[in-house]
Amino acid sequence: MTKRRVSILGATGSIGQNTIDLIARDPDHYDVVALTGARNIGQLARDAIKLNADIAVTAHDDLLDDLRAALAGSGVQAAAGQAALDEAAARPADWVMSAIVGAAGLAPGMAALAQGATLALANKESLVCAGALIKATAATHGARILPVDSEHSAVFQALIGENIAAVERIIITASGGAFRDWPIADLANASLAQASSHPNWDMGQRITIDSASMFNKAMELIETREFFEVSPSQIETVVHPESMIHALVGFNDGALMAHVGPPDMRHAIGFALHWPTRKTLPVARLDLVQIGALTFRAPDETRWPALRLAREVMERGGMAGAVFNAAKEIALDGFIGGHIQFTQMADIVAVVLDTANRDGGALNASHIDATMTLDNVREVNHLARKAAQAAIKNRAG
């Protein structure tokens, strides 16, 4: 039996650890090529040794000595820095999990596609920032991208055997996050700890806060547009507090195909790992009688202005997604760092999008509409981050 060569980018995070959980249950089937992480050297080294990886890479040069020390005598190579991350992703593999958080996941994901690997894409930021670019890279190299976000995995599964031309609409569900039942007037004073706890899903801190603000759902609307190439008007979201239905696809005969499952990312990860077959996965089986009822609410754009901003980005297309994501990342840093209030994150992103729409400044339309290359996505990312930092200074000052 030939083993499948797999790499995990962002191995120490929530998605990375769930991926390792699945792979470690079936060690004879996998040959682990590369694991990458950032500051959690202990976890990275432990997993690299346990899975007998060829190489472990930290994003931080200053942690190379620590990683070497933690791997001493194991036979696992150590490397550090951005170029090493890209090199690890470029090592021949059959399947690569893209689970770095943020725009930092774009370049390593591109490197994995360029060597023809199947890219299991959890890093939604890559599609939001550079959808056209990563799809073109996959096409050029005959590589496949499989969605790992639970909603997009659900849509992908609902579309098996279907013709996309028969799709009328795609509905992705949103739990509503930490503050769905809060009075809107209280949101400005939401604390970091309150925003960092999710009612249904156990995820990394950044995506958890993005769920409370609905920036996560906003990103997922754009991700839906990029992945399935339907028009923005065909994409909807609905608040579904139980997080059991992950998405629904509506067809031209009125049928709605829903994907139902427990809120456990090992389902979407396992589906991408075993695709095109299905294999037994260690996720809970739902007891519908015990659940009793599933409920739905309209998404309120006053409570969650990020949803309105996502519509603006989808209409605009081009580099607007890169601007949006960069501004959102800096606004989130600003909230985590205590420099702005929870509700100011959306204000910052709106200001940066407005700046990008105006002619004149550095972040003007000529950049926004430029042909997409990794370099100009990086430049737009850089400029939008600077614009967001300036906007935060204005608010906080």
Q: Determine which residue in the list 37, 176, 177, 270 makes contact with ligand NAD, applying CB under 6 A.
A: 37
Cβ of residue 126: shortest distance to Mg ion, in angstroms?
Answer: 14
Q: Which is nearer to ligand NAD, 128 or 351 (CB)?
A: 128
Query: Could you give the C-alpha distances from 191 to 114, 212, 307, 339, 375, in angstroms and in order?
Result: 42, 11, 21, 12, 37
Query: Among ligand NAD, Mg ion, none, what does residue 55 contact (CB within 5–8 Å per kind)?
Result: none
- Among residues 104, 113, 143, 314, which is the contact residue for ligand NAD, using CB under 6 A? 104
Q: Rule CB under 6 A: is residue 306 a binding residue for ligand NAD?
A: no
Phi, psi of 173 (to 5 degrees): -90, 160
Q: Which is nearer to ligand NAD, 10 or 334 (CB)?
A: 10
Q: Which stretch binds ligand NAD (CB under 6 A): 9-17, 244-252, 336-344, 364-372?
A: 9-17
Q: Which of 244, 226, 210, 302 is nearest to 235 (CA)?
A: 226
Contacts of 387 (CB under 8 A, 6+ apart): 327, 351, 352, 355, 356, 361, 362, 363
3-state helix, strand, coil in the chain (%, to 5): 50, 15, 35
Q: Which residues contact residue 128 at a Cβ distance below 8 angstroms, ignoring those fewer than 6 apart? A: 219, 222, 223, 226, 321, 322, 324, 325
Residue closer to Mg ion (CB basis): 172 or 377: 172
Q: Does 93 bind ligand NAD (CB under 6 A)?
A: no
- Give the other-Cβ count within 10 Å of 203's Cβ: 20
- Given 47, 149, 223, 329, the residue binding Mg ion (CB under 5 A): 149
Contact 313, 372 (CB under 8 A): no
Which of 127, 92, 110, 129 lies closest to 4 in space, CA to CA?
A: 92
The listed partner (ligand NAD, Mg ion, none) that binds 5, CB under 5 to 8 Å by sort, is none
Q: Which residue is nearest to ligand NAD (CB)?
A: 13
Q: Which is nearer to ligand NAD, 137 or 175 (CB)?
A: 175
Task: Annotate each residue in 194-213 with x if it binds ligand NAD (CB under 6 A) or - if it does not, as one string.
Answer: -------x-xx-xx------
Contact between 99 and ligand NAD by CB under 6 A: the answer reads yes
Nearer to ligand NAD, 96 or 351 (CB): 96
* Backbone Cα Rg of the chain: 21
Query: Measured between alpha carbons, how far is 211 from 19 in angstroms, rounded to an integer?
Result: 21
Q: Are strands 235-239 and 55-58 parallel, antiparallel or unpaired?
A: unpaired
Q: Does residue 199 have a cis peptide bond before it, meaning omega lies within 30 degrees of 0?
A: no
Task: Give CA–CA dist 53/180, Å, rounded.
Answer: 42
Is the Cβ of residue 61 or residue 162 nearer to ligand NAD in the bound state?
61
Site string for ligand NAD, 131-170 (x = CB under 6 A): ------------------x---------------------
Cβ of residue 125: shortest distance to Mg ion, in angstroms?
12
One residue of 6, 7, 13, 112 binding ligand NAD per CB under 6 A: 13
Q: In angstroms, what is the minimal distance from the CB of 297 to ligand NAD?
A: 22
3-state secondary structure of 315: helix
Closest CB to Mg ion among residues 215, 342: 215
Nearer to ligand NAD, 45 or 351 (CB): 45
The listed partner (Mg ion, ligand NAD, none) that binds 59, CB under 5 to 8 Å by sort, is ligand NAD
Residue 355 lies near ligand NAD (rule: CB under 6 A): no
23-52 binders of Mg ion (CB under 5 A): none
- Among 48, 55, 1, smallest CA distance to 28 is for 1
Q: How many CA atoms lie within 13 A of 101 on its CB side?
A: 19
- Residue 297 CB partners (closer than 8 Å, separation 6+): 176, 180, 238, 239, 240, 241
Distance CA 115, CA 271 (A): 22
Q: Judged by CB under 6 A, which of 76, 78, 113, 122 binds ligand NAD?
A: 122
Residues near ligand NAD (CB under 6 A) are 10-16, 37-38, 59, 85, 99-101, 104, 122-125, 149, 201, 203-204, 206-207, 265
Residues near Mg ion (CB under 5 A) are 149-151
